[in-house]
Chains A and B, each alone.
Chain A
Amino acid sequence: MSKAAQLAALIGSGQAQGDKNLIINGNMAVAQRGTSVTGVSGGGYETVDRFRTAYNGSPDQLRVTHAQVADAPAGFANSFKLTVTTKEDALAADERVRFQQRIEAFNLQKLAFGTSSALPITLSFYVKSSITGTYGVDLKNSDAGRSAAQSYTISSANTWEKKSITFAGDTTGAFNNDNGEGLVVSWVLAAGTDYTSGTLATAFASTTNANLAPSNQVNLIGTDNSTWQLTGIQLEIGDVATPFENESFGETLQKCERYYNRIYDIWCDFAVYANNGRMSRRVDFPTTMRANPSMTRNSVSTTSCDSVASNRTNLHGTHIYANSTGAVGDAFFIIANMEADAEL
């Protein structure tokens, strides 16, 4: 095939379009919540933006550290690192631990899933672990209840390796065109027999738990001090992995802020105007959020008022408010940081 024909094919496949990576923060650059959390005992968002762990069953002995670290392959500055600080002694059949990103359905329409024009997608990433062997990756279409799973092999311990996995487009299961959870991309770190006893569902099919992880899946959580690192993640249209789409830190941060953001040093300063008077101030988010976010506050300092709360929160902002407890004319102020969370 001539270079011109290759280029035409690339453009036709959609791979040459800008904003090709469906994964946000695939280079693990943004970590608004913090860069390290120790003693993690359950699933959720802890450090790097848009990525979370998901637990099934009750691996109650397990404790891990999540961290954004500077150890990364050439061309990347960061990776996510999970370290098992207390192992799970015996993996029960229903126990599973995964690292994942949940992708908003609005961003998936170009895949044309659920139509005869459904496009293949390729997941590429750099991975490094202290434990070699076979690991699973699964994709779940949350709108259609369909999943596909494949495996990759870590050949050398503590060495960065690049992996690429292609999934055929799904002509059956469509994504809703909305702000809900569309596709969940998960890297399996451990899976009990409820998830490994079937045949790996390499093409999208109705979700069957037994077909979601390889039968020889590594049990990362069964070894103290085991580590697993990930970065350079790209999920794109086509059956070939192309180079990672670099973007500025600001672009990545702005994408992340649709799902979670922090607002620092909100300062409200009034005089108490009446007994039990209320102080309220509008606080705008840096970008329109995916959904009306949950709000919390930290580093709160107050004078002459009761507990601080949020009210009338919408996609664009919130109101921080408190009721006065001082006498008329007293200084009445709040200083606080706020977190807005609209993660999937």
Chain B
Amino acid sequence: MIISNAKYYLDVSDTSITDHITATIDGKVWDVPIDPANSDYAEIMRQVEAGTLTIADAD
């Protein structure tokens, strides 16, 4: 799985909450929820842990 351009986004109504990560996954832009049971989120975290991906902070 090729993942790039990962960035955190805040909840639009409550900016104290991180809502999701937007990332390009295998060429397509996805909004990935912060859910360890989501396989995209799990893979993003695996790549972050491996040092091959960084997630930009939310605006």
Where the two chains meet, the residues of A that have a C-beta atom closer than 8 Å to any C-beta of B are: 42, 44, 179-180, 278, 280, 290-296, 309-314, 319, 321, 341-344
Contact = CB atoms under 8 A, between A and B. Distances in A.
Interface in B8-59: 9, 11-13, 19-20, 22, 25-26, 28-33, 35, 37-41
B12 A313 contact: no
Given A294-B33, A310-B20, A344 B39 contact: yes
B6 to A, nearest CB: 12
B39 A292 contact: no
Contacts of B39: 291, 342-344
Nearest to B44: A294
A344 B42 CA distance: 10
A312 B32 CA distance: 11
Interface residues of B, number: 23
Nearest to B25: A294
Contact of A278 (B12, B32, B33, B37): B12
B23 to A, nearest CB: 9
A310 B38 contact: no
B11 A296 contact: no
The 3 closest A-B pairs by CB, nearest first: A291-B37, A292-B33, A292-B35
A180 B31 contact: no
A295 B31 contact: yes
A295 B35 CA distance: 13
Given A180-B37, A291-B38, A342-B38, A312 B30 contact: no
B21 to A, nearest CB: 9
A292 B31 contact: no
A55 to B, nearest CB: 10
Given A311-B20, A312-B11, A296 B38 contact: no
B37 A179 contact: yes
Contacts of B30: 294-296, 341
Contact of B29 (A179, A291, A296, A344): A296
